[in-house]
Amino acid sequence: MTDTQVGIIGAGPAGLVLSYLLHLEGIEAVVLEARSREYVEQRVRAGVCEQPTVELLRELGVGERLAAEGLPHRGLSLRFDRADHRIDLAELTGKAITVYGQQEIVKDLIAAHAGKGLPIEFEVSDVELHGLDTESPRVSYHDSEGNARELNCAVIAGCDGFHGISRPSIPAGELTAYDHQYPFAWLGVLARTPPSHEELIYTHHERGFALHSMRSPEVTRLYLQVDPIERIEDWSDDRIWHELEQRLETRDGFSLREGPVLEKSITPMRSFVVEPMRYGRLFLAGDAAHIVPPTGAKGMNLAIADVRNLSRALKALLCDNDGELAASYSDRCLRRVWRAEHFSWFMTSMLHTDPNADAFQHRLQLSQLRYTASSRAAATSLAENYVGLPFDRAD
């Protein structure tokens, strides 16, 4: 049996940032993770960091490698009518985004934990949460050697993602779920080849959406809109590159660089939110509470915004015996969550080819794209949301 102030379920960016924020406030925490350290450090996920996320990681002292290896982007391209229409993020907002893989942030945070001797238990199993409606919740589990363990806490933070144990541990009827399924999926490809363009390209094409992104100067990340019933086995590397070439082509002869495909997978698209993000002494953060389609590049950034709020609420609760911020945690997070949900829906709806839409709706899409690319006001709205609203403004 172990005692700690905060038990954190999940060693993704949300759980690790929360643990480190609490450490800086002198609050004890233990992180429990079902996967191995090697797995979570290699798990490829998001790659776009909003400016507020970058600034927070630097403030925490874990941004050295991000500053050295991250790829700052001062703009992005909307590609439609077979031409690029650049949105100048920096000129419109004075801010930028940084491309730096989620797995790299996880590596940096795990190394920082190890350097400070902060506890992370990997490869735990049979995790169960108890006493959530009391002031002494606890976590039972088996450690990596199969030993039964119990963690007594003052608070539990559920940072274990959409399929984790935290949200299902809340009694039925205590949460309201908002779920929206999109009629398409993303086929994602990681390829060992230099990026074909210096910035991200979001493409609207009659064959379907495509995205050109990157993870480093040597590795490119690419996505194709596909039907959700597609099987990855039916997509050979040659077929993927051929489809990318068709959708990314421009009238001025854009050249797509090809290379060995390192990974490929198909991911359904959905929007999902639960309210409230708290039950008793269990607080949900990140994908445990909300999912956004990746078109807006908000998932990891929302998770980090959540735990920034949560760390402040827990400091007040555990150090000052002040429960006001804890009581308002969900409301403050959800203001930012719903703004990000709307922006992600907007980007998804504007750029994807809806198989159920008629010709009228397709013309509306093109009208919105042309307006966004030609109107400073519309472009500024997109840019402001894309680079990330300031924490205090959105929270």
Q: Side chain identity at 60, as an amino acid letter?
A: L
* Cβ contact 127:119 at 8 Å: no
Return the bridge partners of 181, or none.
Answer: 270
- Please tell me the distance from the alpha carbon of residue 192 to that of residue 216, in angstroms, as a whole number: 10
Catalytic residue chosen out of the listed positions 212, 298, 315, 352 = 298
Number of C-beta neighbours around residue 376 at 10 A: 10
Q: Is 29 helix (H, G, I), strand (E, B) or coil?
A: strand
- Cα atoms in the 13 Å half-sphere on the side-chain side of 332: 21
- The alpha carbon of 203 is separated from its chain's Cα centroid by a whole number of angstroms, namely 21
Catalytic residue chosen out of the listed positions 202, 223, 279, 329 = 202
Catalytic residue chosen out of the listed positions 20, 279, 294, 352 = 294
Per DSSP, the residues of 262-277 read EEEEEEEEEEEEEE-S
Told to judge if 73 belongs to the known catalytic residues of this protein, a careful annotator would answer: yes
**CA neighbor of 356 nearest in space, from 180, 187, 182:** 182
DSSP-derived secondary structure letter, 8: E
In the block, residue with structure tokens 């935290």 = 166
Q: In what order do the strands lie in the sheet with 155-158?
A: 120-121, 29-32, 6-9, 155-158, 282-284, 278-279
* Cβ contact 39:75 at 8 Å: no
Return the bridge partners of 29, or none.
Answer: 6
Told to judge if 20 belongs to the known catalytic residues of this protein, a careful annotator would answer: no
- Please tell me the distance from the alpha carbon of residue 367 to that of residue 209, in angstroms, as a whole number: 16
- Please tell me the distance from the alpha carbon of residue 66 to that of residue 50, in angstroms, as a whole number: 13
**CA neighbor of 212 nearest in space, from 342, 345, 78:** 78
Catalytic residue chosen out of the listed positions 73, 113, 212, 290 = 73
- Please tell me the distance from the alpha carbon of residue 180 to that of residue 14, in angstroms, as a whole number: 23
- Residues annotated as catalytic are 73, 202, 294, 298, 386
